[in-house]
Chain A
């Protein structure tokens, strides 16, 4: 739907700005806390967001992500801490003076104004001369492809069209930061996936810093340059989508993003380049190819993604490969994938996924088969919490 944009290298230039110590953060949160009475919605969060990032706040409902976003917009005042935007303290700046725009979850389109007037509203407030308003409104209207709907009122539009109007309205003022509160929450799955890519294109095209709040991990993975996973008002981990998925720092993060098998165990041997973990749940000693910061005998958890496990009828040759035995309990055929539930001899249930590269006419492995579940030593992650 969106005009095809030559896949710019814009992202490349901004990518990894957080690893470059010479880069100044564009938005800086310093020990921000927000309390509503006794309830702490946001708990001492410090965070740096860089220019032209597409930053996601991801978490379950009630984790404080929306409160954090509303503090960035100025609708809530932090109980303590500071918010800096482009080096300027925003604490005392009311929402109508902030160079920040928000796209509301409910879209909050003015029902008594047509599409054009809704979009022009912000520019009018700034006293932009009307010929310029006209050109800028037309520009964003064509960017979100709503030309034929310019004269319609919000109630005459579909959900997807309203979403575009809301986006256009928040983009037209070219804010320093665009806040998106569950922007795709009301769309159906297909439209959501398509719009995700459009959002990314618009972000690249405009270079505006996007901060998006979502509870949809897939959405966060797709669009973000970095994700902050939140829980109970705290940020648990801030990292790129790949890092968050491949190297989660806790069971919470590992569980929140995608499927994962977690085995509890005790450290048996901890070397620089590998660690051995005695796990009753897995029914074997697990080898991981990275050292950890834990004493011998400490309780740790090994997380392995279902797609990183293999299922075999014979035992593996390589003694370093982690291997568990069990019985096929259930098979779920999803078309592109098959999900196997395997009951290990230790009693633990393991989920593993296999891509259906060939057409499944006759399964080699089927219900009640005795199988070996294996994974490479570098496939799992050892978690300390």
Chain B
């Protein structure tokens, strides 16, 4: 914040109506006091917000107090520059952190025949005899232990990670040449090619996966085409196998691989390849020593964008995979809708999230360290 005297003295004439008003108001002590208040740093704002969130959650009855506190907090934190930075945090807080906390909460509950079907974590117990109230907190960690007890969960996690890694790698193999071809295409076609990559999104994801059933089934388009051209005599069994799941994932997530790759490759200076050639490097080798290392950020981004949703994928293994295709998304679905065991399915979800977040954070740390080493 700028020193108030600066505003009062000189600036009124030059800085327009709002600033002039501001300068006049600065003469009034409460306004001056508020205006000179420093905006709260993001970290502390988040901390306060979290405390507020937990407080409001455990004692929702006092909601007007929480509301006022929240508005005050926002008022202090959101001052100009702060607002710009706060927006993404607020978004994450509202749509990522709070749902996660709810899931986390359910994962520590016990299954119950109630609506919702789990026991509450916090309860205010009223002791009639001595007329005292207790806050009872009951954390049930059995849900997590249960995941270790039954092979199904560990197998689901491992099989999901395996299917996701393999299909991410395959998507990279398919996506890289596409992105590379787009970048090398004449400028006037590039927008059109980009549109064509994005075009499938205009149809529902579900419908597109269903369409693959029509292509991959025994009497489907693929088998029909292969048999009529005489390449095979017997129809191939692709549908309801892991192969169909791979095809489905590669097809569905290809744009998420192509777009970041395209973005990095497009930024690459073409004169670097000319320089490599000039220094005696064959174009094929130049791809390995120049293009590939320089597109690494795009490869990493694309792989993350494909791998992360692929691990938790439900629709594709459910529609295209067979009964032996186990993926954590399917297991979670069964746990939630068939067994109606919200606490265990929440524990499955929490572990899945941790499995994905830990490597991402580790990777980010590594990159930061590398950047530090260079500087």
Contacts and interface: CB of A to CB of B under 8 A. Distances in A.
Interface in A169-210: 169-170, 173
Contacts of B278: 73-75, 95-96, 98, 100-102, 170
Nearest to A104: B271
A60 to B, nearest CB: 22
Nearest to A95: B277
Interface in A102-127: 102, 104, 106, 108-112, 121-122, 125-126
Contacts of A74: 277-278
Contact of A112 (B277, B283, B293, B375): B293
A108 B272 contact: yes
A122 B271 contact: no
Nearest to B281: A125
B294 A111 contact: yes
A117 to B, nearest CB: 10
Interface residues of A, number: 27
A122 B276 CA distance: 8
Interface of B: 269, 271-272, 274-283, 285, 290, 293-294, 374-375
A55 to B, nearest CB: 19
Given A95-B274, A104-B274, A122-B280, 16 more contacts: A73-B274, A75-B278, A96-B277, A96-B281, A96-B283, A97-B280, A100-B278, A102-B275, A102-B278, A110-B272, A110-B276, A112-B293, A126-B280, A153-B374, A156-B375, A170-B278
Q: Which 4 A-B pairs have the closest CB atoms?
A: A122-B279, A125-B280, A108-B275, A108-B271
Contacts of B280: 96-97, 122, 125-126, 173
Contact of B277 (A94, A126, A173): A94
Contacts of A121: 276, 279, 281
Contacts of A95: 274, 277-278
Interface string A299-337: 000000000000000000000000000000000000000
A169 B293 contact: no
B352 to A, nearest CB: 35
Contacts of A125: 279-281, 285
Nearest to B374: A153
Interface in A41-100: 73-75, 94-98, 100
Nearest to B273: A108
A101 B281 CA distance: 12
Given A108-B269, A108-B271, A108-B272, A101 B279 contact: yes
B295 to A, nearest CB: 10
A97 B277 CA distance: 8
Nearest to A105: B271
B294 A169 contact: no
Contacts of B276: 96, 110, 121
A112 B294 contact: yes
Contacts of B279: 96, 101, 121-122, 125, 169, 173
Contact of A96 (B282, B293, B294): B282
Contacts of B281: 96, 121, 125
A153 B375 CA distance: 10
A100 B278 CA distance: 7
Interface string A160-173: 00000000011001
Contacts of A153: 374
12 contacts: A94-B277, A95-B278, A96-B276, A101-B278, A102-B274, A102-B278, A104-B274, A106-B269, A108-B274, A108-B275, A112-B294, A125-B280
Report which residue of B271, B275, B281 has the largest number of chain A beta carbons within 10 angstroms of its beta carbon.
B275
Nearest to B268: A111
Nearest to A153: B374
Contacts of B285: 125
A320 to B, nearest CB: 56
A104 B293 CA distance: 21
A112 B275 CA distance: 14
Contacts of B290: 110
Given A96-B283, A125-B280, A126-B280, A110 B374 contact: no
